[in-house]
Amino acid sequence: MSKQEKTGSLAPLLKYVRPHSGLLIVSLLLAAVSVAATLYAPILVGDAVDLIITKGNVDFSGVAKILVRLGAVVLISAVSQWIMTLLTNKVSYLTVRDLRSDAFANLQKLPLSYIDKCKHGDMISRLVADIENVSDGLLMGFAQLFTGLVTIVGTLIFMLTINVRITLVVVVITPLSLFVARFISRNTFKLFRRQTEARGELTALVGEMVGSGKTVKAFGYEDTAEERYEQLNQQLRHVWVRAVFFSSLTNPCTRFINGLVYSFVGIIGAFTAIGGGFTVGQLSCFLTYANQYTKPFNEISGVITELQSALAAARRSFEVINAQPETPDSDDALTLKEVDGSVSASDVFFSYDPKVPLIEHFNLNVKPGQHIAIVGPTGCGKTTFINLLMRFYDVTGGEIKVSGEDIRNCTRSSLRSQYGMVLQETWLKTGTIAENISYGRPDATREEIIKAAKSAHCHSFIKRLPEGYDTLISEDGGSLSQGQKQLLCIARIMLSLPPMLILDEATSSIDTRTEILIQRAFSEMMQGRTSFIIAHRLSTVREADRIIVMNKGHIVEQGTHDELLAADGFYAGLYRSQYEI
């Protein structure tokens, strides 16, 4: 990845650090104190060495004083390091918390078109694993990078005060470590980016297999799934091994160069001490400084490696944060509060792909309280029209009005609150049965929840559960049958009772006897409410006030059940195909 792309990940990341800059500054000050104490310790050790001249000629009182001072210095360094680590961790975790919160918040604002196009497992990987990598990079980076730089500058100053000539030798050789680290880092960023992408694909496959486990087993797809998993796993292993190999080269290479520096200092320093250039204590001090001077280069190279991984992960996370949300409601958008249930569609155009037309010249007028059934072959645009009614997608031409107001001029939340939707695909959240029924009305009382459950004919099986309405279930419904899960979704709408209803194959997973009971409950619930009923089983739409027959995105027929049968057109053909042999 180019330098501009790396900067593109780093700059927004630093914006998330800025609100916590106070803690960061204190942390950096403590790092400076810790480094200063660490650099002062070799001077004390050198002074102590010079007080030990020969056997029997040792200044014990002087050494004791130095040891007391050395203990105090070490204690200051340790305490400063400990507090600095606490503050650094806090800055890192707060930064990552904000990053993850913004990513999830923007995910809620993204249009369904974005969600539909992405792999759900990969999205989970971006919000969990990738942001965790950012956290690891920040934890290592903040403290070690600053501490390393301060140590380099500090030791350089101290060495210059002892011997300029030997210091120049150290300064000339050490930059080789930087050249080595830079060469390696060029390769590691690209590899770590590929690693995060491969991990996202693997997570997506696992999520897909776990979410559709029954289908996988029913079609005997286990072996194929395992082969696909092994293929992605091998890709991840290959990229991961290469990334780790290159990043692992950094430390031994820089340590080798640092070893050369230490050797040169030891040899030249020994000859200088023999010639009387400085004392043995100063030589000991200088060797310690030379070692401390080169050590940060190893740490910084490790930090660079971690930052490569963190920036690669941050780039994927920022793709979610920076993704274009759905068009926001205008400042003067209307808030729908009380609607009469009238709906009109005038010359509506829409397609998911501009190259593939779907809905064209769609016109419909629905009076308040009417029950409209929408039927037609698969792919004719039935569910798409419902998505347009709810503004999950916006029309590309024409307009849709509710109570005379163009829905594009209304707030989405107020528009969607006017509909109660029961879909063919059931969705339950992790929580109790009562919490799932009251999902649309969290303030509902237990009596209201039970009444809605009775209306949806699910009260009897709920009572048989271990904890009744307080039974915990997972997002997939646990041991509940598909029909029971759908009954809970119907009870959810029974509780909220909005002025308009959308039933998209709402009884598709329910047995015939229960379906009859549900249809009676629906009849009561739909009294005085505008209802849109999507159904493939035409027996469920006989009582509709009007049946809209769609084919290839157009309304080809409309009327009552009897009128359409008498016309002997497209609807009659669909009806006969279901009931005649």
Question: Are the CB atoms for 163 and 345 separated by under 8 Å?
Answer: no
Say whether pLDDT at 283 is over 50: yes
CB under 8 Å to 392, separation ≥6 — which residues?
A: 111, 112
- CATH number for the domain including 383? 3.40.50.300
> DSSP assignment of 369-406, as one string?
T-EEEEE-STTSSHHHHHHHHTTSS--SEEEEEETTEE
State the pLDDT at residue 1: 47
Q: What is the pLDDT of residues 31-58, one digit of tens each?
A: 888 888 888 888 887 778 777 765 567 7
> 3-class DSSP state for residue 350?
strand
Can you say whether the dihedral through the CA atoms of 369, 373, 374, 378 is positive or negative?
positive
Question: Does residue 503 lie in a domain region?
Answer: no
Mean per-residue pLDDT, 396-401: 90
Does residue 383 share a domain with residue 413? yes
φ, ψ for residue 478, nearest 5 deg: 60, -125
Question: Are the CB atoms for 31 and 84 separated by under 8 Å?
Answer: yes
Distance, in Å, from the CA atom of 249 to the CA atom of 180, rounded to the nearest integer, reads: 9
Does residue 304 share a domain with residue 224? yes
297, 321, 345 — which closes off a domain? 321
Does residue 154 share a domain with residue 110? yes
H/E element, 558: strand 554-559
CB under 8 Å to 449, separation ≥6 — which residues?
A: 434, 437, 438, 469, 491, 495
Say whether pLDDT at 181 is over 70: no
How distant, in Å, are the alpha carbons of 9, 92, 556, 560 from that of 362? 45, 53, 10, 19
State the pLDDT at residue 391: 86
298 burial via Cβ count (<10 Å: 0-12, 13-18, 19+): buried
Mean per-residue pLDDT, 478-482: 76
CB under 8 Å to 137, separation ≥6 — which residues?
A: 306, 307, 309, 310, 311, 313
State the pLDDT at residue 75: 92
Question: Does residue 242 lie in a domain region?
Answer: yes
Does residue 391 share a domain with residue 360? yes
Does residue 227 share a domain with residue 334? no
Does residue 307 share a domain with residue 359? no
Distance, in Å, from the CA atom of 258 to the CA atom of 254, rounded to the nearest integer, reads: 6
Mean per-residue pLDDT, 396-413: 88
Question: Does residue 394 lie in a domain region?
Answer: yes
How many other C-beta atoms are found inside a 10 Å radius of the C-beta of residue 199?
Answer: 23
Does residue 395 share a domain with residue 278? no
Does residue 413 share a domain with residue 268? no
Q: ∠ CA(451), CA(456), CA(462), 5° rounding?
A: 75
* Count of structural domains, the chain: 2
> 3-class DSSP state for residue 422?
strand
* Percent of the chain whose predicted confidence (pLDDT) is above 90: 2
Q: 498 or 517: which carries more pLDDT confidence? A: 498
| Residue whose structure tokens are 């879909």 | 423
Does residue 292 share a domain with residue 179? yes
Tokens of 547: 């049946």
Question: Are the CB atoms for 309 and 137 separated by under 8 Å?
Answer: yes
Question: Does residue 36 lie in a domain region?
Answer: no
Identify which of 12-26, 301-315, 386-400, 515-529 has the greatest average pLDDT: 386-400
Mean per-residue pLDDT, 210-224: 70
Question: Does residue 185 lie in a domain region?
Answer: yes
Mean per-residue pLDDT, 10-14: 76
Mean per-residue pLDDT, 288-313: 73
Say whether pLDDT at 473 is over 80: yes
Identify which of 120-124, 354-358, 428-432, 445-449 has the greatest average pLDDT: 445-449
Nearest-Å Rg of the Cα atoms of the chain is: 35
Question: Does residue 67 lie in a domain region?
Answer: no
305, 321, 337 — which closes off a domain? 321
Can you give the residue range of the structural domain that contains 213? Answer: 96-321
> How high is the mean pLDDT of the chain?
80
* Percent of the chain whose predicted confidence (pLDDT) is above 70: 87
Q: What is the pLDDT of residues 138-157, one digit of tens each?
A: 666 666 777 777 888 888 88
How many other C-beta atoms are found inside a 10 Å radius of the C-beta of residue 384?
Answer: 20
Q: Name the pTM for this structure.
A: 0.62
Smallest Cα–Cα separation from 303: which of 251, 263, 236? 251
Does residue 210 share a domain with residue 104? yes
- CATH number for the domain including 300? 1.20.1560.10
Q: 153 or 308: which carries more pLDDT confidence? A: 153
Does residue 215 share a domain with residue 347? no
Question: Are the CB atoms for 141 and 240 separated by under 8 Å?
Answer: no
Distance, in Å, from the CA atom of 164 to the CA atom of 547, rounded to the nearest integer, reads: 95
Residue type, 50: D
State the pLDDT at residue 79: 92
293, 321, 349 — which closes off a domain? 321
Q: What is the pLDDT of residues 77-108, one digit of tens each?
A: 889 888 988 888 888 888 888 888 888 888 88
Does residue 344 share a domain with residue 301? no
Say whether pLDDT at 302 is over 60: yes
Mean per-residue pLDDT, 298-327: 75
